[in-house]
Amino acid sequence: MKRKEFIKTCGLACLGISTMGLLLQGCVPTKNISAAILEENLIVPESNFFRKDKPLKYLIVRNDKLQFPIYLFRFSESKYTALYLQCTHQGNELNAYGDKLVCSAHGSEFDNKGNVTNGPATQALRSFPIQIEDQNILISLKKA
Ligand code: FES
């Protein structure tokens, strides 16, 4: 194989691999649920994370009283994070792709802890304290 052909082949292979990565991120199963608010907590039964094979990585939790949904990410049996899906740049709703949150308005990206990984947003996402009681995840909506 000549040098030029080799470089062309490697370039196409790299492009294919990066495209495949993006496609696979979009294939992470997303489960939307509606959760009740009791007192100042959004109540999410842990059972929502479990399916036949393995636990889901995250849920999108909605309630009519919330303008935007909450992204509830499961790091482990006892460690979760709850993030408000409102972009800190200009307030657009974010989309979840696995452990990455993306704003379709201007391209900001956040990780599963709410940190900015790509601008123009500069502030982390609003997060909520979490407690686990009786196999329920309690997301505190109390203002700090
Ligand atoms: S509103 Fe999200 S990047 Fe601008």
Q: How far is the CA of 118 from the centre of ligand 1 (A)?
A: 11
Residues lining ligand 1, Cβ inside 6 A: 87, 89-90, 92, 103, 105-108, 120-121
Q: Whose CA is nearest to atom 3 of ligand 1?
A: 106
3-state secondary structure the chain: CCHHHHHHHHHHHHHHHHHHHHHHHHCCCCEEEECEEECCEEEEEHHHHCCCCCCCCEEEEECCCCCCCEEEEECCCCCEEEEECECCCCCCEEEEECCEEEECCCCCEEECCCCEEECCCCCCCCEECEEEECCEEEEECCCC
CA gap 89, 95 in Å, rounded: 14
Task: Name the pTM for this structure.
Answer: 0.79
Neighbouring C-beta atoms of residue 24, cutoff 10 Å:
11
CATH number at residue 132: 2.102.10.10
At 10 the pLDDT is 46
Q: How many domains does the chain have?
A: 1
Q: Whose CA is nearest to atom 1 of ligand 1?
A: 90
105 in a structural domain: yes
pLDDT tens, per residue, the chain with 144 residues: 665 665 565 455 544 444 454 444 555 567 888 888 999 999 999 988 887 777 889 999 999 999 999 999 999 888 999 999 999 999 999 999 999 999 999 999 999 999 999 989 999 999 999 999 999 999 999 875
Q: How far is the CA of 105 from the centre of ligand 1 (A)?
A: 5
- Whether 41 and 139 have beta carbons less than 8 Å apart is answered as yes
13 in a structural domain: no
- Whether 10 and 17 have beta carbons less than 8 Å apart is answered as no
Which residues are bridge partners to 102 per DSSP? Answer: 95, 109
113 in a structural domain: yes
At 18 the pLDDT is 45
Range of the domain at 101: 30-140
Q: How far is the CA of 103 from the centre of ligand 1 (A)?
A: 6
24 in a structural domain: no
| Atom number in ligand 1 closest to CA 103 | 2
Which residues are bridge partners to 80 per DSSP? Answer: 74
